[in-house]
Amino acid sequence: MDDKKHPIFFNAIQDPEFEDTLFGEIRLTVKTVMSAVQQSMGVSMVEHLFFMQLVAVKELSQAELQKRLGVDGAVVTRLVKQLEAKGLVVRRPDPSDNRFTLVSLTEKANRLVEEKLDRRQKLAMVLMRGISSEDVECIKRFLAQLRQNAQDLSVEGEILKK
């Protein structure tokens, strides 16, 4: 998996000067929450995202799954084989282009996903306990502005390099 493309999966080396900053707090929070979510859900984040893609569209090519998940093709191939062995996905050649393999969830997987979604809702309630709706809206605005600033930095990056 390309961690540079997907910072949510980034497990940074400890940097003492960074840890006491707001960005250090954000990184630590993401790492802690993601670990709790994965432990509670019983599936990795890649597996969860994989299932969500197929729930939404029903059937996708492995190439499209690779693109949507932003992971290496070998990761998707390995994951599909593992899930197929567990009876959670089925593969078939794409009738319009035999070079591609289509992947879909089995009924067993759909039941599992339904259970996981229910668990995810309960988990979200626990994680949000004690956080007011005003705080949530404030944090959303803050994060949106932070993302916008990062996008602007990408555009203005050439100026900063000079």
**40 and 60 together in one domain:** yes
Paired residues of 105 in beta bridges: 89
Q: Report whether 101 contacts 91 (CB < 8 A).
A: yes
Q: Name 89's Cβ contacts closer than 8 Å, sequence gap at least 6.
A: 54, 80, 83, 103, 104, 105, 106, 109
**17 and 66 together in one domain:** yes
Question: Worst-scoring range by mean pLDDT, 10-19, 124-133, 151-160?
Answer: 10-19
User: What pLDDT, on the 0 to 100 scale, is given for residue 79?
Assistant: 92
Is residue 28 in a domain? yes
pLDDT at residue 112 greater than cutoff 60: yes
Question: Worst-scoring range by mean pLDDT, 35-39, 86-90, 92-96?
Answer: 35-39
**111 and 78 together in one domain:** yes
Give pTM, 2 decimals. 0.63
How does pLDDT run across 66-80, given as a tens digit for each residue? 999 888 889 999 999
Number of domains in the chain: 2
**116 and 95 together in one domain:** yes
Is residue 1 in a domain? no
User: What pLDDT, on the 0 to 100 scale, is given for residue 159?
Assistant: 60
C-alpha 45/C-alpha 27 separation (Å) is: 16
**152 and 76 together in one domain:** no
Is residue 46 in a domain? yes
Supply the range of the domain harboring residue 91.
Answer: 7-129
Is residue 104 in a domain? yes
C-alpha 92/C-alpha 89 separation (Å) is: 10
**75 and 136 together in one domain:** no
- For the packed helices 62-69 and 73-85, what is the interaxial angle rounded to 10 degrees? 120
Higher pLDDT, 118 or 68: 68
